[in-house]
A and B are shown apart, each in its own frame.
Chain A
Amino acid sequence: MTPSTARDLTTVALIGNPNTGKSTLFGALVGVRQRVGNYPGVTVERRSGQMEYAGRKIEMIDLPGLYSLAPRSRDEMVAVDVLLGRFDEESSVDLVVCVLDASNLTRNLYLVSQVLELGLPTVVAVNMLDVAESRGVKIDWKALEERLGVPVVPTQAVRHVGIADLKAAIHRTVGSPGPSPASPLPAEFQKEVGGLETWFRDEGRGVSREISRFLVERLILDNNGYLVRGMFGDNGEAVRTRLEESRQRLEKAGLRIPGVETDARYGWVHDVMAGVVCEPNDYQPTRTDRLDRVLTNRFFGTVIFGVVMIALFQAVFAGAQPFTGMILAGFDAIGGWVEGHMAEGALRSLLVDGVIGGVGGVIVFLPQILILFLFIGILEDCGYMARAAYLMDKFMSRVGLSGKSFIPMISSFACAIPGIMATRVIEDERDRFTTILVAPLMTCSARLPVYALLIKAFVPERTVLGFFGLHGLTLFALYVLGILTAVIAALLLKKTLLRGETPPFMIELPSYKRPSLHTLLHRVWERGWLFLRCAGTMILAVSIVVWASLYYPHNAVSVDSQPHLVQLRADMDEVELGSEEYLALEARYDHERLGEFQRQSYLGRAGHAIEPVFRPLGWDWRISCAVLASFPAREVVVATLGVIFNLGDEVDPESEEGATVFGKELHAATWNGSGRKLFTLPVALSILVFFALCAQCAATLAVIRRETNSWRWPLFTFGYMTFLAYVGALLTYQVGTWIAG
């Protein structure tokens, strides 16, 4: 949104604790389904949507879920900045909607007490009525509204209950004067805030803009220095000294910092709730409690977690099979049709080999990617992710991180970019950077096409222990490789470059709930569309570039004058035209001629130049070319291999080993000028290990640059991951070849 359009719209910010159904409410209001997470911190991006009510256009901003407005992390800082209009784009917020969990009003009202002090027009939406009712919570809505001094609307967003009332309340309240409650903080504290306000106005040099009273209050309470660093950077020495003086005076007056705020606000919450909210005294164990007895058990919980992960990888392979076959058949038919209706030449080659072969080779993996996103979405939405973080915290703390780092890391299974962005909830910068640097090692969905292609082609399809397929287990092993490498890298980083204490850990375990089908499907669709858009743009462009660099200069005179081709041509002339021997020689001639064209192409020359670097890994110039071409995005390697190894007639369609056309083509490939197979199991495994550990993703590196505000860290990530990938692939090939004898 730009400032100009902002003035045509009413801007409404949605704020609330995590797990209050805020994102579902947002979706219900704006009519756009949003990502809903069950663990704190999933909403780290700015999300917005527009709605219209009674002729008024409203821009809704879904702020990150947070427990208080005390800025201790980027999420909290973003929320404070939006509410105070400190972002240029969000020049001002016209109204705040505070979303509360009806079953947990005490804690949720703590945030309300802070929001009301901002003086903005506010509407309170008390959500999740069904959960509160099932727990016997009773609320006197009218009395609550009177106590808070702002409209209160009961809602159940998941069933669209109360949404119309909420829209009407927003419409009524916009433009009205905001609340002006007396601050619950003690008079002595208020006096100190007033003094500091005067100091900033008169003597606070280096302060570029006016500081609101709310921020002055927060600066005094911010004894860990996050806000001072965020506002003044390294130039806030005078401010720090002045703040310390204030804190010492308050301590002397018996007001401890920051505890004074907790005492005061909970005092206010109790006053608001007295006689208004009735909660049962005796606690009845819930279904969530019974499930947690098993799922958070150290032994059973860990075993179940392992089984869930293995099931995920099995489903990715087995569930996608029929759809993969259908897509493959579709692209084969399109390629065949184009081939049959066009004259031979550069254009036909471009369409069949470059566009259809390249893009089709990647799109064929769409079903696997969709199944992966569906699984991760279910785990997030049902509330299991937070339990996984709890189970992993003990392990993570041993490598100097916390369970909070586990959530971005597991998100990186889908894509490293949201995973890296999810690290914003980690307060400590060193822990955040460590998590960012190791997140790309987690197996993202872009690696799946490479894995799927090579595993299907080269790993025998056998059943292990009577249940697990060897394909699924190999995939699982690659995921484990990524995780273990990430853990070791984190451990080393925390002991060297980013040395620091193990961070504290706190995470809310939300109630289990049935995932919303609409939300899940929307998320899967959103991700699938992103993938298709990528296939239709960047992968298409790279496919064409790769095709062109492999096709040109296409010097037929130079190719046909090669001695081995001249000899073959002469051999053909000596046998009877159309005989079996002639046909065999002709097939060999065509194959070797095509190989010569590729060798003489621009990409072939580049591949030959770098082949010595990759030869110890068992790779020839063609694999080297594919790896080079896949720097922008690792999934491009599949399209590149498709273009390079499109060997036409030599593919044996009856071969049982290759389940896909690509697989068959790769199986048939040989080292140039010899009958020696190029792709052996050690070579395939070395490529798999290389792609498990490499940083071939320009988008991820760009996000690391943005999140760390420095080129140093993306360069470091690329350097250390490429080194690990090379060494890993080298060891895999050499040891594999040695074992194979």
Chain B
Amino acid sequence: MFRPGNPCIIRMAGSKVCLRSDELLEVFVEPTETVA
């Protein structure tokens, strides 16, 4: 988490994403079972 709040800024894979809530999150967030 780069900056908490609403909207927040999270850091992932070298880039930062600002969001509230969005379906596109499914593309950005790697499912945990895949990582495992």
- Contact digits for A366-398, partner B, Cβ 8 Å, 1 yes 0 no: 000000000000000000001001100110010
Cβ of A680 < 8 Å from any Cβ of B?
no
> Are B27 and A504 within 8 A (Cβ)?
no
B33 contacts across to A, CB distance below 8 A: 263
When A263-B31, A266-B31, A390-B7 are in contact, do A107 and B13 touch as well, CB less than 8 Å?
Answer: yes
Smallest Cβ-Cβ distance to B7: which chain A residue:
A393
CB distance from A735 to the nearest CB of B (A): 39
Out of B11, B13, B26, name the residue touching A259 (CB < 8 Å).
B26
A283 contacts across to B, CB distance below 8 A: 11
Cα-based distance from A402 to B27 in the complex (angstroms):
20
> Are B7 and A110 within 8 A (Cβ)?
no
> Are B7 and A505 within 8 A (Cβ)?
yes
B7 contacts across to A, CB distance below 8 A: 390, 393-394, 403, 505
Interface members, chain A 254-295 (any B CB < 8 Å): 258-259, 262-263, 266-267, 270, 283, 288-289, 292
Cα-based distance from A381 to B3 in the complex (angstroms):
23
> Are B21 and A504 within 8 A (Cβ)?
yes
Smallest Cβ-Cβ distance to A131: which chain B residue:
B14
How many B residues face the partner with a CB closer than 8 A?
29
A510 contacts across to B, CB distance below 8 A: 15
Cα-based distance from A494 to B16 in the complex (angstroms):
30
Cβ of A224 < 8 Å from any Cβ of B?
yes
> Are A386 and B18 within 8 A (Cβ)?
yes
> Are A67 and B9 within 8 A (Cβ)?
no
- Contact digits for A39-72, partner B, Cβ 8 Å, 1 yes 0 no: 0000000000000000000000000000110001
> Are A403 and B18 within 8 A (Cβ)?
yes
> Are B13 and A266 within 8 A (Cβ)?
no
Cα-based distance from A286 to B14 in the complex (angstroms):
9
B30 contacts across to A, CB distance below 8 A: 106, 266
A505 contacts across to B, CB distance below 8 A: 7, 18-20, 22
Interface members, chain A 468-515 (any B CB < 8 Å): 504-511
- Contact digits for A192-224, partner B, Cβ 8 Å, 1 yes 0 no: 000000000000000000000000000000001
Out of A135, A259, A292, name the residue touching B16 (CB < 8 Å).
A292
- Contact digits for B1-12, partner A, Cβ 8 Å, 1 yes 0 no: 011011101011
CB distance from B2 to the nearest CB of A (A): 7
Out of B11, B12, B18, name the residue touching A390 (CB < 8 Å).
B18
A104 contacts across to B, CB distance below 8 A: 13-15
Cβ of A296 < 8 Å from any Cβ of B?
yes
Cβ of A103 < 8 Å from any Cβ of B?
yes
17 additional contacts, CB 8 Å, given A67-B27, A103-B15, A263-B34? A68-B27, A101-B15, A107-B12, A110-B27, A259-B26, A289-B16, A393-B7, A402-B20, A504-B21, A505-B18, A505-B19, A505-B20, A506-B18, A506-B22, A507-B19, A508-B17, A509-B16
In the complex, 17 of the A-B residue pairs with CB atoms within 8 angstroms, ordered by the A residue number, are A67-B24, A103-B15, A106-B13, A107-B27, A262-B31, A263-B31, A283-B11, A289-B16, A296-B9, A386-B18, A504-B19, A504-B21, A505-B18, A506-B20, A506-B28, A507-B18, A509-B9
Query: Which residues from chain A sit less than 8 Å from chain B, CB to CB?
Result: 19, 67-68, 72, 101, 103-104, 106-107, 110, 135, 224, 258-259, 262-263, 266-267, 270, 283, 288-289, 292, 296, 298, 386, 389-390, 393-394, 397, 402-403, 504-511
Q: Top 3 nearest A-B pairs by Cβ distance?
A: A506-B22, A504-B22, A506-B19
